[in-house]
Amino acid sequence: MTFGKVLTAMVTPYKADGEVDYTKAQKLALHLLANGSEGIVVTGTTGECPALREDEKRGLLKAVVEAVGDKGTVIAGTTSNDTLHSIEIARQAEELGANGVLAVVPYYNKPSQEGIYLHMKAVAQSTSLPVILYNIPGRTVVNMCPSTVKRLVESCPNVVALKDSTACFDQISELRSTMGENFMIYSGDDSLTLPILALGGCGVISVASHLVGKEIGMMIDTFKRGDHQQALALHLKLMPVFKKLFITSNPVPVKEAMNLLGWKMGDCRLPLAPPSDLETAIITELLKNYGLL
């Protein structure tokens, strides 16, 4: 099975009054699928999951699943640092028709490797959906070791993939050498996609694909065809997009980029502040340089 090579971690649009705009979320999901994405991740970090109410998360997933249909895959960013709550919302994701679950390492609690294993195992065993593990120690503080990933795959057949945002290529190499060839490794950072492909990765769960999804897909396809020099050239061409969309906390820059392009997504919810004038100027220049604005 595959979720696709380019999945977009989609932003959450708000109306002028700050409430979620479900109709615009549907429109955006279809736009992304028409512009290089093969799947959508709803209510992940880029979707401001920590700032959304439970009814909003359910509403977003329901709306996007209805809009996407069989045009692509829909992955629910469902888990939290509370195991029982994570189980509950993973089950809801299955009921609402998601194609998979993105399960992040519990944050703030600082669990041991055994705690991570037991948490993820409980979530995976609560649903028949395929599970993508998400390792992002820059936000969660703790790292999920390759040995823990291996234990989870061995005990839970529906744990089928990993989104990796560690930038630790030794760890990714260990994962690739110890996991079966069917286990999928996704880059969790746009700028790491090409190196992770070289280590046996299958694609990216992307932020930049809001703007350059087709180009990212072309880079991946080019690499997989064996034209590594051209893939590198595409990677280097896209690097300013990859880096400048993280000049401040994600998803502030990408949401501002979409606003500048006329999507009227609204600002992020507090505690994420709007971009500064300087940050807006940098994003505006970026869009102009790539012929997007």
Closest CA to 60 of 37, 79, 44, 82: 44
Which positions ≥6 away from 172 have C-beta within 8 Å?
A: 164, 166, 185, 196, 199, 201
Distance CA 31, CA 37 (A): 9
101 forms beta bridges with 76, 131
Q: 163 an active-site residue?
A: yes
97 neighbors 60 (Cβ within 8 angstroms):
no
Q: Decide if domain 6-228 falls under CATH 3.40.50.300.
A: no
Specify the pLDDT at position 144: 97
Domain ranges of the chain: 6-228
Tell me the pTM.
0.96
Query: Which tokens is 202 given?
Result: 């299958």
pLDDT truncated to tens, each residue of the chain (293 aa)?
A: 689 999 999 999 999 999 999 999 999 999 999 999 999 999 999 999 999 999 999 999 999 999 999 999 999 996 788 999 999 989 999 999 999 999 999 999 999 999 999 999 999 999 999 999 999 999 889 999 999 999 999 999 999 999 999 999 999 999 999 998 899 999 999 999 999 999 999 999 999 999 999 999 999 999 999 999 999 999 999 999 999 999 999 999 999 999 999 999 999 999 999 999 999 999 999 999 999 99
* Annotated catalytic residue, options 134, 186, 244, 255: 134
Cα–Cα distances in angstroms (integers) from residue 213 to residues 5, 79, 153, 203, 264, in the given order? 11, 26, 30, 12, 20
- Is 5 in the active site? no
Each residue's pLDDT tens digit, 69-107? 999 999 999 678 899 999 998 999 999 999 999 999 999
Q: Which of 5, 24, 57, 163 is catalytic?
A: 163
